[in-house]
Chain A
Amino acid sequence: MTTFSARRQVVLAGAAVMALAGSSLGAFADSSSVPVTTLVATGTRTLSVTDVTGASIGTNGLPLGTGHGGAFLVNVTDTRYKNAGYQVSATMTNLYPYATNAFDFNGTPIPASAVSVSYPSGLLDLVNIKSLVTPVLHLTGSLNLGALPLPISIDQTVNGTATMAQSLANTVTKSTLAAALSQLPVTLQTGDVGAFTSAAGLPGEPTAHPNPTSLNLMSGNAQQPLASALVTALNTTYGGLTAQQLVTAGLVDQNAVISAVAQQAGITPDLITNAEQTAIMTNLTGTINALTGSVLGQTGSYNTMPALAIDVPTSIAAGTYRGQLVVTLMDK
């Protein structure tokens, strides 16, 4: 009767011989079910409209007219969000006389066409843009396994796990946008200028406004960022780390590393002892060779600073007027 250890050594030796001889089991066929997990980026994409300091616009609203710049910040932030484009647009209502927290729809309004959008600050930037990608790792090293008399040299590629890669500076401004464009998972375009020719409706307004003017404030298209730049960025951070460090960093799964080594040794992973696993994780180092498939998603924020200007008709009576700017974010 042979012990498990003796049997294992026989199997290892046999497997090694088979691996060296390049033989295969040929006609043998079997089937089994293997659970496969696929990462789907299910993060978040949020819209934020604030005053120019980033503070929320209070109940008094955004003041326009003499002495007021009418500028505001539009921010779209992705957190591991799927690789999709976006568009931020705005509509404007007429501005009605407003007192005691109520619109006077009987009064003569300032038409929405008196309000126009421009971008006097020229602010258009991206902050901390990272692409969610699956790296392909190249693992190399030398180690002893089982009864094999000589150390075997490991040279395997392994699919890693989804990882954030940042190849760009933390802030990309309008002046550096053109140079960075190819590395963006979602591009960035400035918006429209001009007046809100047709008004949108206010809640409770007796007049219907079925076709309001919608002005684009900012938009972006999904694209595949330059893979080589992302590979370089990943190697800058992770290149040369041990398999254990790569696992700790979340770049690769330990089972994938063990399986790759077992495959090269011609054995099944369950025949590798705990001590040998430790040796594998310590002795192998990895670099990032390439990326697998398409970019899965991205993290980062996109910002612009439009400004509203108003040209009040001379026929408008003195008083306080109020309307609503509705800013809408949509995927595209």
Chain B
Amino acid sequence: MRQDSQTVPVTVTVHAPQHHPSGHPGGGLPFTGAPLDVMAAIGLVLGLAGAAVMTAVRRKSTAPPTARLGSPA
């Protein structure tokens, strides 16, 4: 009765689960990977635009009511 055998080593590498700390690239930020100066420029533009809108709203809200309604003097 013939019998022959061969042993094959089997290897597995188990990796640790990956956690992404908040604020770290890969943590879910919409501009992941964008350069810092680009992000600063976008922030400045958004800030200026917001300030302009707020100024316009404030001026409108302090104007006389008749003027605002446009009734004859």
Interface residues, chain A, CB within 8 Å of chain B?
45-49, 57, 59-65, 72, 84, 92, 95, 98, 110, 115, 308, 310, 312, 316-331
The residue that A47 contacts in the complex, of B5, B9, B10, with Cβ under 8 A, is B5
Interface residues of B in 9-24 (CB under 8 A from A): 9-16
A115 contacts B9, CB within 8 Å? Answer: no
**Given A330-B2, A331-B1, A331-B2, A49-B8 contact (CB < 8 Å):** yes
CA gap between A49 and B4 in the complex, in Å: 11
CA gap between A328 and B10 in the complex, in Å: 16
B10 contacts A60, CB within 8 Å? Answer: no
Count B-side interface residues using an 8 Å CB cutoff: 16
Q: What is the count of residue pairs linking A and B with beta-carbon distances less than 8 angstroms? A: 95
The residue that A98 contacts in the complex, of B7, B11, B16, with Cβ under 8 A, is B11
A64 contacts B1, CB within 8 Å? Answer: no
A322 contacts B4, CB within 8 Å? Answer: no
Any A CB within 8 A of the CB of B3: yes
**Given A318-B15, A318-B16, A329-B5 contact (CB < 8 Å):** yes
A63 contacts B8, CB within 8 Å? Answer: no
Contacts of B8 in A (CB 8 A): 49, 57, 61-62, 72, 324-327
Any A CB within 8 A of the CB of B62: no
B4 contacts A62, CB within 8 Å? Answer: no
- Closest B residue, CB atoms, query A203: B7
CA gap between A320 and B16 in the complex, in Å: 11
**Given A330-B1, A331-B1, A321-B6 contact (CB < 8 Å):** no
Contacts of B5 in A (CB 8 A): 47, 326-329
B6 contacts A317, CB within 8 Å? Answer: no
CA gap between A57 and B6 in the complex, in Å: 11
What's the least CB distance linking A66 to chain B, in Å?
8
A48 contacts B6, CB within 8 Å? Answer: yes
B12 contacts A65, CB within 8 Å? Answer: yes
The residue that B4 contacts in the complex, of A47, A98, A317, with Cβ under 8 A, is A47
